[in-house]
Amino acid sequence: MPAAASKVVQHRVIAPLRRALQTALQGRPETLLAGVSGGPDSLCLLHGLAQLRRTLPIRLHVAHLDHGLRGQAGADDAAFVRETCRALDIPCTTERRSVSEYQATHPEVTSVEAAARNVRYSFFHDVAAAIGAAAAVTGHTLDDQAETVLMHLIRGAGSTGLRGMQADSIAQTEAGPLRVLRPLLGVSRAATPAYCRSAGLHPRDDETNQSLDFTRNRTRLHVLPVLQQLNPKVVDALAQLAVQAQQDHAYWDAEVARTLAEFGEPFQTGLLLDRRRLRSKPAALVTRVLRRAAIAVTPNAEISFDHSEALQALVNGSSGKLLWLPGIPLYALATYAHLLLVHEPLNLGSLPQPLPVAGVSEQRWGPWQVTLGPMTAATSKGHWQTPLTEEQAGRAHVGHRVPGQRYGHRKLQDALVDAGCPELLRDHLPVLTDSEGTVLWVAGLGPVASPPRSGSGPGTFLQVRPADRLLEGALRLWEGRSYNDEAR
């Protein structure tokens, strides 16, 4: 190829590569880890990066992984990459990690492609951490982007999936977060072998790229050619769709972050969302907020459309429903005012036996702390209390509600429902009864009748307060509850 033609071919790669790196690095001197398989895309990337060392403040290191899937061919690829790096005077780390062994210990990863990606990106993370690289750089092209968008569309990944791959993103690997740059996303796949020919490079040929066992290969070899018959520029159209989706996502990302900060708060190992306020927002925003919240609670889980729909139904449905999202460790509980997302159902433990009030000074009772004595701080927060006569204190018990129990002229169940008490808490609230089993007082509801007066003295008060963090957190689900309003 004539020298002038070679410069033109290489400029079509070098120019967008330079722009992408200038945008990503903002002029900062950085070490970049180039992932190189030995194929035309990654070899083109490596050579282009080597040329840019002269004008950009970058240091290069190469990482090559033998996935253990191609036997001697995989070992030969590693040797080729090492020799190429030696010729370019670029340090190189090669390693072999078995994808088959990874799948044997990760049965939830059913696709060889997904398993290989997980292993490869964990390897990149380890090498980047060891050498202090700011990011890993991969040779994904415009055609790779189109294939990714199409596969996501076929799989039903929703608008988030239409973003495809991003030029600058954070990959969550099993080894930790990894910044990944993809500076060739605007370069067609046809340009990379042309670049290699112009530069006298001889890429390796990976025969598995023709195997129809892999979804991406079937998409590239069978699906895209059919679509190109309908639209010869379908690759460009899909890549443009990804750009538009990324722009939309940037807007929604800011809206979701603001809404989640306003309507959500940490709860134990999960999140507590304001269900009533969410219902007032557009469905497009609510769906994205729920998805972001679910990912925050279960970072490694894949939140499907069905998961999002189920959470949306909880927001708009009746209270008291508990939902386990199939396939991921996420439980959702709808109360009157909240939607709670946690790793596992809240378990407040077994119910303790009724406790005679007589003789109690301060005693642990299940998840509660029960105290009998002079009231010293009627306005203190974090506990309920009720005044007792000497006769009541000698005969009363603290227990839990029982079926059919009445709160004055009403069923206790109805009184708790009307007060907005979440179902989770109803069996665990302390209930004060007399020797006949008649309800005198319920934590959070107050006394059945007017509390007795104790003259001008301090009086005797029964006080209950949560004694463990789980119960204390669960009580937050009862919006509108108040402490000590019985002591008036």
List, for residues 22-60, the tens digit of each pLDDT value.
Answer: 999 998 999 999 999 999 999 999 999 999 999 999 999
Asked if residues 196 and 203 have their Cβ atoms less than 8 Å apart, the reply is yes
What is d(CA 136, CA 117) in angstroms, rounded to the nearest whole number?
Answer: 14
Q: Looking at residue 375, what is its pLDDT?
A: 59
Question: How many degrees, rounded to 5, is the angle at CA 281 between CA 277 and CA 286?
Answer: 95
In terms of average pLDDT, the best of 118-122, 334-338, 380-384, 394-398 is 118-122
Using DSSP's 3-state secondary structure scheme, residue 176 falls into: strand
Q: Are strands 30-35 and 135-137 parallel, antiparallel or unpaired?
A: parallel
What tokens does 418 get?
A: 């009307």
In this predicted structure, what is the pLDDT of residue 480? 61
Which DSSP string do the residues of 114-161 spell out, in sequence order? HHHHHHHHHHHHHHHHHHT-SEEE----HHHHHHHHHHHHHHT-HHHH
CATH architecture of 3-230: 3-Layer(aba) Sandwich (3.40)
Cα gap 249→234, rounded to integer Å: 22
pLDDT tens digits, 262-289: 999 888 778 999 998 999 999 999 999 9
Can you say whether the dihedral through the CA atoms of 478, 482, 484, 485 is positive or negative? negative
The domains of the chain are located at 3-230, 262-342, 355-475
Q: Name the pLDDT band for 386 (thresholds 50, 70, 90).
A: confident
Dihedral, CA of residue 408, residue 409, residue 412 and residue 416, to nearest 10: -90
Is the pLDDT at 76 greater than 90, yes or no?
A: yes
Pull the structure tokens for residue 122. 């964990």
C-alpha distances (whole Å) from 149 to each of 124, 159, 211, 275, 306 are 24, 10, 20, 33, 20
Burial track 58-90 (b if 16+ CB lie within 10 A, e otherwise): bebbbbbbbbbeeeeebeebbebbeebbeebeb
pLDDT level of residue 364 (50, 70, 90 thresholds): very high
Q: How far apart, in Å, are the Cα atoms of 98 and each of 62, 74, 118?
A: 20, 11, 11
According to DSSP, the residues that pair with 272 across neighbouring strands are 265, 340
The first and second tokens of residue 160, run together, are: 């988030």
Alpha-carbon span 257 to 292, nearest angstrom: 9
pLDDT tens digits, one per residue of 172-201: 898 899 999 999 999 999 999 999 999 999
Round to whole Å and give the CA distance between 104 and 83. Answer: 33
Return d(Cα 160, Cα 293) in angstroms, integer. 15
- The mean predicted confidence, pLDDT, of the chain is 88
Mean pLDDT in residue range 137-157: 92
| DSSP-based three-state secondary structure for 379 | coil
What are the two backbone dihedrals, phi and then psi, of residue 331, each rounded to the nearest 5 degrees?
-115, 140
Q: Is the dihedral of CA 108, 111, 112, 117 positive or negative?
A: negative
Residue 222 DSSP code: I
Residue 375 DSSP symbol:
-
Q: What's the pLDDT at 293?
A: 92
- pTM for the model stands at 0.70
What does the pLDDT read at residue 5? 64
Contacts of 340 (CB under 8 A, 6+ apart): 267, 270, 271, 272, 273, 332, 333, 334, 346, 477
Residue for token pair 């964990």:
122
Q: Which CATH architecture has domain 262-342?
A: 2-Layer Sandwich (3.30)
Judge whether residue 310 has pLDDT over 80.
Answer: yes
Among the residues of 184-304, which ranges form H helices? 191-198, 215-218, 224-230, 234-263, 275-278, 283-297
Q: What is the mean pLDDT of residues 212-239?
A: 93
**What is the distance between the alpha carbons of residues 354 and 8, in angstroms, rounded to a whole number?**
87
Cβ atoms 351, 435 nearer than 8 A: no
